[in-house]
Structure 1
Amino acid sequence: MIVNLITFASFLHKQASIRVSHEVVLSELEKHFTVNLVDYQDAEQLGPDDFKLVFIATGGVEQLVVQYFETLSHPVVMLADGIQNSLAAALELSSWLRNRGLRNEILHGEVSVIVQRIRTHYQNFQAKRSLFGLRIGVIGSPSPWLIASGVDYLLTKRRWGVEYTDIPLERIYELYDKITDNEVGASCAAFASQALACREATPEDLLKAMRLYRAIRRVCEEEKLSAVTLNCFKLIEQIGTTGCLALSLLNNEGILAGCEGDLQTIFTLLASRVLTGKVGFMANPSMVNIHNHEIIFAHCTIPTKLTEQYIIRNHFETNSSIGIQGVMPTGEVTIIRCGCECLDEYYLSTGTLMENTNYLKLCRTQIRVKMDSPVDYFLKNPIGNHHIVLPGNHEEALNEFLQANTCKRVE
């Protein structure tokens, strides 16, 4: 791991004396990282993939930092060990940045703490760089009921480096019609053989759903998509099959896939996976118990890799085609959703998955989660419908990342 320290020192100090003066902190950091001291005048030579911190080596550099502000990474993270009035200068700069609404942090004090914070900032940097250039396919327009889940494509690309691309449903229909039952028969048999049971769905339903999966998978390959969101209900009207199976299998394979053309939630899935390595369960909060801090999350599809076992069902709303009832393991979970048109708000909480429920009038996969925070948010201040359930506790990592990217936490 290479840490480039963009070094600011007053004209009274030469580069050689900087290393001598700060030998204690630099030698300790070099036990953990490869440390490069980069003079601020050479900072432009570093590329976008180079991890950079600001090293305040002396006092009196405030104007220099302001002058070269555009060459710095954001948020601005400043290392200041206190030698040569460096902490005093960092404090002044921190106030200047904060007054302009710019997130910043001063690394100072115990080296072990500084090392841990550098690792965290590096993780955030890597996650943000990993998002850059990823493509999200929007197959069909978002469902008309998702009136608060839109995204400004241009602002999102500028902010996160992620590109949304619209793909007409007709392209899926054309590919779907070319795929025969014989081509997907073995895949259907394998999927069915691993299921705990098959209830309402027929073999014909499974064949049609698998053909749809193959069609969407081909488009993802042709368009080099990292994620896709699908207007499922228009598909049901046109070709008589749901996207539940397709989305489950795509998620299993690492192509993140979401329902109903929800633009905000598919980004949430993508950002969460980049940071935590985990795929999530996209679900509706379907019942809220304020007294017990509990929520029932439900949807008709789930990545089967998240389940201990699954049952092949039909789709709840239409009583047709394929739905998946997954049984998730109990234990810690993280609930997250990114919102707003430029994706600069988020909800985040942890909880415990207590049980898998089986209510008759809810979507097929259902889980009861006891939240670690009050559930009033869902009734008083929600930023949308769909939320992502991630196995495990990832609150600290996700919060650090979103805060580092100047997102507002909604509670």
Structure 2
Amino acid sequence: MASDEINRREFIGLSAAGVAGSVLGLRPAAADATQQESWDPTAPMVVTGKALRVQPVLMYRVAQRREATSWKSWGGVQDDQAAESECGRITEELRTLATQAGFPVEMLPVVKARSPEEAARVHQNDYDCVIVYPATGSGETLKACFAQRKDRDTLVFVRHRSGPSYYWYEALSTRYLASGSAQFLQNSCLDHGPVHVDDVVVDDCGKLLWRLRALYGIKNFVGARIVALGGPWGKYAPDAPQVARDRYRLNIIDVPYDEVSGRIEVALRDKDRLRMAQRMAETYLALPDTTLMTDKEFVTNAFLLHGLFKDLMREHEAPAFTIRECMTTILPIARTTPCLTLGLLNDEGLIAFCESDFVIIPAGILLHYITGKPVFMHNSTFPHDRIVTAAHCSAPRRLDGVHYEPVRIMTHYESEYGAAPKVEIPVGRQVTFVDPEYSTRRWIGFTGVVKSNPFYEVCRSQQDVEIQGDWKKLCSEVRDSHWMMAYGDHLKELGYAARKIGIDWTDLSTA
């Protein structure tokens, strides 16, 4: 199996052959378009990202003994035998790391580099990131080990106490590494900038792993394909779709409603497909902690939409989907709202958002790939006394990637029509927020703790969240736009990824 064909459901990447087959959990493209797909709530989430290919390099030199003079540098790797032992140690550490990663990663065999010439040959290999282990050796060899392509990345791992000490634990400095933040905005998805002090890890494989997770996020975010049913737009930023194309190379596939309305009508009239959708609706409603508070037919129609939306994603080889005019145009066509449908797609491990707002969608795609979990696009409120309310009608349920949170299936709030989930997030759950400043390259991030799941006259899924960080500063950042939320604390990964691709990142939780 190829390196970027690794997943928890034999997910095989985004190649044309893969999407035509088992990618996205879909049937083959040649199947009858009126057939409804099965839905299995017990199936593990699909993984839509291509594996991160990592090339480890052990840099060292063979020290030659000379009498009555200094003949070796600091460091415990001074000969080929010690280097062979160190290669084994690195291989085992990376093997363990890969099993803990939670995202597809391929660790290539360790390559030894004893000179700039040997280091140069490393870059003939196909990798996304090189991890340099500079045990001993010259500065020229070190620089030759660094990734040579501007859109590829370098991590440097040095040992203090985790094995034989490294000379470059002492010798690394700003002579070889960039520092500060002034140059960050010169970076882009095509040029991740020079090797930086933040790219150095001492001893701790856990710190290596979260950096790799950020790089995996970048790899699958940049150039991502997304179907935009009804076309793209940007809330208060008309240039947002074009900015997303230019800055992040997003491939936005504009699918007009007139191309799908007929397909929806055919599905609604197909008795076999309708019966299957009814069975899936019954399975969903039988899940623990699921309460129906709207017409069951709306839920059935949401499952019909589920299959049709996945058809579009497969046909266009896209792991992501969004829909415009989701509170108006789609309702009379589908005879339900898309709220529950979008939640179902996210719960499967795909990426799905309402409103087709490309102010926020880039942040949602990156956050999804970094976390490996569903993300919740929502409206926010004015912060007060450390509290902000997050609310929308299309929340995922499987926000930890495994379990389904309690839910009430209600009507969509503004229309009082269709099927929309009111998801109850556990009180005390830590979450991460990302808030982009319209279509500028400035993003804000912070964490919070869920305090309650109220029932205000607002969008159905709603949480009052206590802000962790400078909530008063957040008041001056309030915009009538959308945020993204995910379970857990992912600020390190987001900040690291942001620097790589030229996003002006502000972490309010450190303020």
Counterpart for residue 469 of structure 2:
373
- Tell me, what secondary structure is at the counterpart of 1:92? coil
Residue identity over aligned pairs, in percent, reads: 18
Counterpart for residue 104 of structure 1:
195
Query: 5+ residue gaps in structure 1?
Result: 10-14
Counterpart for residue 12 of structure 1:
none
Counterpart for residue 314 of structure 2:
221
Counterpart for residue 89 of structure 2:
31
Q: Tell me the TM-score normalized by structure 2.
A: 0.66
Amino acid of the structure 1 residue aligned with 2:228: V
Query: How far does residue 156 in structure 1 lie from its aligned partner after superposition?
Result: 3.8
Q: Is the 8 A contact 1:229 1:257 kept in 2?
A: yes
Q: In structure 1, which of residues 93, 97, 122 is the aligned counterpart of residue 212 of structure 2? A: 122
Q: Cα–Cα, structure 1 residues 5 and 371, in superposed 2: closer, same or farther, change >3 Å? A: same
The reply on whether 1:347 has 2:444 as its aligned counterpart is yes
Q: Is the 8 A contact 1:149 1:341 kept in 2?
A: no
Render the CA deviation track for 1:35-68: whole Å, top value 9, x for unaligned.
4224233243121345343849555639x94998
- Tell me, what secondary structure is at the counterpart of 2:407? strand
Query: How far does residue 17 in structure 1 lie from its aligned partner after superposition?
Result: 4.1
- Tell me, what secondary structure is at the counterpart of 1:317? coil
Q: In structure 1, which of residues 393, 400, 403 is the aligned counterpart of residue 499 of structure 2? A: 403
Query: How far does residue 396 in structure 1 lie from its aligned partner after superposition?
Result: 2.9
Q: In structure 2, which of residues 246, 261, 267 is the aligned counterpart of residue 179 of structure 1? A: 267
Q: Is the 8 A contact 2:321 2:351 kept in 1?
A: yes
**Alpha-carbon distance in 2 for matches of 1:108, 1:141:** 39
Amino acid of the structure 1 residue aligned with 2:354: C
The more displaced of 274-283 and 121-130 is 121-130
**Alpha-carbon distance in 2 for matches of 1:222, 1:407:** 32
Amino acid of the structure 1 residue aligned with 2:230: G
Render the CA deviation track for 1:137-193: whole Å, top value 9, x for unaligned.
1111246745378232432444xxx43222222233122111133342212222333
- Tell me, what secondary structure is at the counterpart of 1:165? strand
Amino acid of the structure 1 residue aligned with 2:319: S
Render the CA deviation track for 1:186-237: whole Å, top value 9, x for unaligned.
12222333464333x3233333333222221211222222111111133136
The reply on whether 1:391 has 2:487 as its aligned counterpart is yes
Q: In structure 2, which of residues 118, 121, 124 is the aligned counterpart of residue 42 of structure 1? A: 121
RMSD: 3.9
Query: How far does residue 86 in structure 1 lie from its aligned partner after superposition?
Result: 9.2
- Tell me, what secondary structure is at the counterpart of 2:260? helix
Amino acid of the structure 1 residue aligned with 2:460: R
Q: Cα–Cα, structure 1 residues 108 and 157, in superposed 2: closer, same or farther, change >3 Å? A: closer
**Alpha-carbon distance in 2 for matches of 1:52, 1:364:** 46
Q: Cα–Cα, structure 1 residues 112 and 93, in superposed 2: closer, same or farther, change >3 Å? A: closer
**Alpha-carbon distance in 1 for matches of 2:202, 2:323:** 48
Counterpart for residue 155 of structure 1:
246
Aligned length: 395
- Tell me, what secondary structure is at the counterpart of 1:91? coil
**Alpha-carbon distance in 1 for matches of 2:488, 2:145:** 44
Amino acid of the structure 2 residue aligned with 1:112: D
Query: 5+ residue gaps in structure 2?
Result: 1-52, 65-71, 78-82, 92-108, 160-164, 185-192, 269-273
Q: In structure 1, which of residues 199, 203, 212 is the aligned counterpart of residue 305 of structure 2? A: 212
**Alpha-carbon distance in 2 for matches of 1:134, 1:143:** 17
Q: Cα–Cα, structure 1 residues 45 and 145, in superposed 2: closer, same or farther, change >3 Å? A: closer
Q: Is the 8 A contact 1:140 1:167 kept in 2?
A: yes
Q: Cα–Cα, structure 1 residues 403 and 72, in superposed 2: closer, same or farther, change >3 Å? A: closer
Amino acid of the structure 1 residue aligned with 2:259: R
Render the CA deviation track for 1:100-128: whole Å, top value 9, x for unaligned.
55453349999524x44443433333333
The structure with the largest strand share of the pair is 1
Q: Tell me the TM-score normalized by structure 1.
A: 0.80
Q: Cα–Cα, structure 1 residues 237 and 108, in superposed 2: closer, same or farther, change >3 Å? A: closer
**Alpha-carbon distance in 2 for matches of 1:365, 1:150:** 26
The more displaced of 34-43 and 346-355 is 34-43
**Equivalent residues in 2 for 1:247-262 (5 A)?**
247-262=342-357
Amino acid of the structure 2 residue aligned with 1:290: H
Q: In structure 2, which of residues 376, 379, 387 is the aligned counterpart of residue 281 of structure 1? A: 376
- Tell me, what secondary structure is at the counterpart of 2:426? coil
The reply on whether 1:269 has 2:364 as its aligned counterpart is yes
The structure with the largest helix share of the pair is 1
**Alpha-carbon distance in 1 for matches of 2:207, 2:128:** 19
**Alpha-carbon distance in 2 for matches of 1:399, 1:61:** 30
Q: Is the 8 A contact 2:220 2:369 kept in 1?
A: yes
Q: Is the 8 A contact 1:156 1:342 kept in 2?
A: no
Q: Is the 8 A contact 2:178 2:195 kept in 1?
A: no
The reply on whether 1:4 has 2:100 as its aligned counterpart is no
The more displaced of 79-88 and 393-402 is 79-88
Q: Cα–Cα, structure 1 residues 305 and 67, in superposed 2: closer, same or farther, change >3 Å? A: closer
The more displaced of 53-62 and 261-270 is 53-62
- Tell me, what secondary structure is at the counterpart of 2:445? strand
**Alpha-carbon distance in 2 for matches of 1:153, 1:144:** 10
